[in-house]
Homo-oligomer: A and B are copies of this chain.
Amino acid sequence: MAREITGFSNPLVKRVRSLREKKLRKREGLFLAEGLRILTEARELGVLPEMIFLASGADPHPLASALINAVEAAGGDVIFTTPDILGKMSGKDNAQTLIGVYRDRLTPLPALDRARAPIWFVAQAMRDPGNLGTLMRIGDAVGAGGVILVDDCVDPFSVEAVRASMGAIFTQTIAHASWDEFLAWLRAGPGQLIGTSLNTDQDYQAPAYVPPAFLLIGNEARGLPAGYEAACDLLVKIPMLGRADSLNASVAGAVMAYEVLNQLRRTGDQGTAPQAPE
């Protein structure tokens, strides 16, 4: 159903704005995604927002029209409003953006199908939403299945993480578990657990990685706890030639994931990656 909102004090405006806070996202089970490109990606994957907000007046972009039609056909709400109110909801000035309100997409770990993809990320106590979003984007690029969040990670449905994911929030499976839950689940099936560490001399290009490969990425400041390293099947070291002893967490994830992907490309053993590289 399409309607129009012009008042800042409208309860729906406040409710959407409140979804910028983790506590209220959790309570509602909803999150925000912004921008025509990301919303269109989601639509093409069959994921539609429960509500969509856009500026009234100007003729909408053909892709925006397609979104409007799809949301209405699915029984969702299409709400036209002013750039000021869009700005208030998105936290940006002069927002000509689209805002979609989506049902959150957390997958219970037992429901995660590890055979669906050759690479999975496991993020341990990742604190930076930009890193987590970037990790999802990398996951999309390498044909990973998704990210399993272990310990106290930043909310993957935060506006910053969703933005940095560039739409990968809709392609990557997201699960959350304690370390013990994760380890029990992992060991109940096939899967290599691979940690990057300074406490090893094994070069990251030395082992033969076997899918499904679970790439464990430690906290940005502290790396992996010793007990977590001890639980890994493989500990490897990315070479560092300079003075620094670490890479940014998502960069380390990318270097590891492309190594695994490159090995799988050479052996042709790509598991069930969505699409073969050229």
Q: Which of A106-114, A137-145, A226-234 contacts B (4 or more CB under 8 A)?
A: A137-145
Complex Cα spacing A169 to B255, Å: 22
Chain A interface residue count, Cβ-Cβ cutoff 8 angstroms:
45
Among the listed stretches A22-30, A61-69, A78-86, A269-277, which one makes contact with chain B, having 4 or more residues with CB under 8 Å of it? A269-277
A140 x B265 contact (CB < 8 A) = no
Interface presence of A240 (CB below 8 A): yes
Residue among B140, B243, B255, B278 making CB contact with A242, cutoff 8 Å: B140
Q: In the bound complex, do residue B141 and residue A277 qualify as a contact, i.e. CB atoms below 8 Å apart? A: no
Who on chain B is nearest to A276 by CB?
A: B241
The answer to whether the Cβ of A250 comes within 8 Å of any Cβ in the partner chain is yes
Q: A166 near B277 (CB under 8 angstroms)?
A: no
A196 CB, min distance to chain B CBs, angstroms: 12
Does chain B have a CB within 8 A of A39? no
A138→B241 CA distance, assembly (Å): 10
Is the Cβ of A140 less than 8 Å from the Cβ of B254?
no
Question: Chain B contacts of A261 at CB under 8 A?
Answer: 239, 241
Q: Are A241 and B203 within 8 A (Cβ)? A: no
Q: Write the nearest CB–CB distance from A262 to chain B, whole angstroms.
A: 6
Q: Indicate if the CB atoms of B247 and A203 lie closer than 8 Å.
A: no
22 contacts between A and B (CB under 8 A): A41-B243, A130-B130, A134-B248, A137-B244, A137-B248, A137-B251, A138-B248, A138-B251, A140-B240, A140-B244, A141-B241, A141-B244, A142-B241, A166-B244, A171-B242, A203-B277, A241-B261, A241-B273, A241-B277, A247-B254, A248-B250, A255-B255
The 6 closest A-B pairs by CB, nearest first: A143-B241, A140-B242, A239-B277, A251-B254, A141-B240, A140-B244
A residues touching B (Cβ–Cβ < 8 Å)? 41, 44-45, 130, 134, 137-143, 164, 166-168, 171, 201, 203, 205, 237-244, 246-248, 250-251, 254-255, 258, 261-262, 265, 273-278
Known: A251-B254, A254-B254. 20 other contacts (CB 8 A): A44-B243, A134-B248, A137-B247, A137-B248, A138-B248, A139-B242, A140-B242, A140-B244, A142-B239, A142-B241, A167-B244, A171-B242, A171-B243, A203-B277, A205-B262, A241-B274, A242-B275, A247-B254, A250-B251, A255-B258
